[in-house]
Amino acid sequence: MTNASQAAVIVVGAGPAGLTAALYLARYRREVLVLHDGNSRALRIPKTHNAPGFPDGIEGTELIDRMSAHATEFGARIEQAEITDIERTAKGFRLTSTAGTSWESRAVILASGIFLNQVDLPHDVHEGAIKADVLRYCPVCDGYEHSGRRIGVIGCDADGAAEALFLRQYSDDITLMPLSHPELSGEQAAEMAEAGIAVKTGALAALEPHEDRMDVRLEGRDAALTFDVIYPALGCRPRAELATQLGISLLDEGCVPAEAVKDSGVRGFFAAGDVVAGLDQISVAMGHGAMAATNAHNWLREQDRHTLQATD
Ligand SMILES: Cc1cc2nc3c(=O)[nH]c(=O)nc-3n(C[C@H](O)[C@H](O)[C@H](O)COP(=O)(O)OP(=O)(O)OC[C@H]3O[C@@H](n4cnc5c(N)ncnc54)[C@H](O)[C@@H]3O)c2cc1C
């Protein structure tokens, strides 16, 4: 029906999960095609300090460049395209892009990541604040780098409270502020007080990033609050639409269930990285990528009636 180009495995996503999967599959001598729309979250990391093997840190763009070169060195192809549709075919899957191009494959690995729910700032200002290190979204990633600093957490609900408590191990100057209104239970408010975390009221009126600080204006206060860094705790939107199109049920938070690294319930379809429920980290995404690739490879071997399994 189409002149769709073919690959044994298509990987959707060129972040740490997708590029690790591509590397493994290429080294299993599979024909692998990576399709991506240029939105890896890793590309936004000014410098990560918890990617194992890089004690001096590595910029996200450099990490992705190195990983892309590594995968293509072994034969993986990488093309830019936004995939909007996936359907089952007799031989596997057909994926179609916004431009109407189609590709077919026997297996698919979805490594499509998440979109963060962000604070409302113009794009350039927002990205500039991330680079300046006054706006961060991931305490697990870089809480350590903000030890002893004045830290503000935006999102006065259970998630914000959990994030503030997590950051408390790094600083005794933590303030929790609402996006619109505080939603802490009495128990959570008491926990904040006990931990020495200040809780402010008043909806967020404005964020004013500077080179070395973030000023926060809350409704009902004349003076701005000043912080060295702000962590919005506003959740995320997993990019799981393609899994949904195949009938895979998502978890409440919109993630693909963790089992999909091995078995999504749709034969030949696997998932890896942030789109899967778990810890959203580079090292986890890489581990998922390796596992999903090996599971896809073994599944293809099984289809081809090979019996030896690659297990380690
Ligand atoms: C500012 C910032 C700092 C961070 N710091 C750290 C850190 O220090 N340490 C750490 O471990 N983690 C950090 N992270 C998190 C880290 O970036 C992610 O955990 C990691 O990138 C997840 O990898 P992934 O491959 O699952 O997803 P991503 O890297 O987000 O890649 C997703 C890929 O899927 C593609 N894609 C999605 N949907 C489609 C579609 N429909 N069609 C085509 N392509 C699609 C995207 O283009 C992209 O290539 C940080 C994140 C941010 C934003």
pLDDT tens digit at each of 312 positions of the chain: 445 677 899 999 999 999 999 999 999 999 999 999 999 999 999 999 999 999 999 999 999 999 999 999 999 999 999 999 999 999 999 999 999 999 999 999 999 999 999 999 999 999 999 999 999 999 999 999 999 999 999 998 899 999 999 999 999 999 999 888 878 999 999 999 999 999 998 999 999 999 999 999 999 998 999 999 999 999 999 999 999 999 999 999 999 999 999 999 999 999 999 999 999 999 999 999 999 999 999 999 999 986 555 655
Residue 300's closest CA among 67, 55, 25? 25
**Residue with CA nearest ligand 1 atom 1:** 45
- For the CA of 142, the closest atom of ligand 1 is 8
- For the CA of 83, the closest atom of ligand 1 is 42
Residues in contact with ligand 1 (CB, 6 Å cut-off): 12-18, 35-42, 44-45, 48, 50, 82-83, 111-113, 130, 137-138, 141-142, 239, 273-274, 280-283, 285
User: Which among 282, 283, 284, 291 is the best mutation to test ligand 1's pocket, defined by most ligand atoms within 8 Å of the CB?
Assistant: 282
pLDDT digit string (tens) for 251-292?
A: 999 999 999 999 999 999 999 999 999 999 999 999 999 999
Q: What is the pLDDT of residue 1?
A: 42
- Which residue has tokens 């109407």? 100
Q: What is the pLDDT of residue 307?
A: 56
Distance of CA 273 from the midpoint of ligand 1 (Å): 8
Tell me, which fold does domain 5-115+236-303 have in CATH? FAD/NAD(P)-binding domain (3.50.50)
Q: What is the pLDDT of residue 6?
A: 79
Residue 165's closest CA among 142, 139, 131? 139
Residues of the chain within CATH 3.50.50.60 domain(s) are: 5-115+236-303, 118-232
Q: What is the pLDDT of residue 310?
A: 61
Distance of CA 118 from the midpoint of ligand 1 (Å): 15
**Residue with CA nearest ligand 1 atom 33:** 13
The pTM (predicted TM-score) of the whole model is 0.95
Q: Which two tokens stand for residue 248?
A: 């895979």
As its CATH architecture, domain 118-232 has 3-Layer(bba) Sandwich (3.50)
Distance of CA 12 from the midpoint of ligand 1 (Å): 12
Residue 228's closest CA among 206, 211, 212, 217? 212
Rounded distance between C-alpha atoms, residue 270 and residue 32, angstroms: 14
Cβ atoms 164, 197 nearer than 8 A? yes
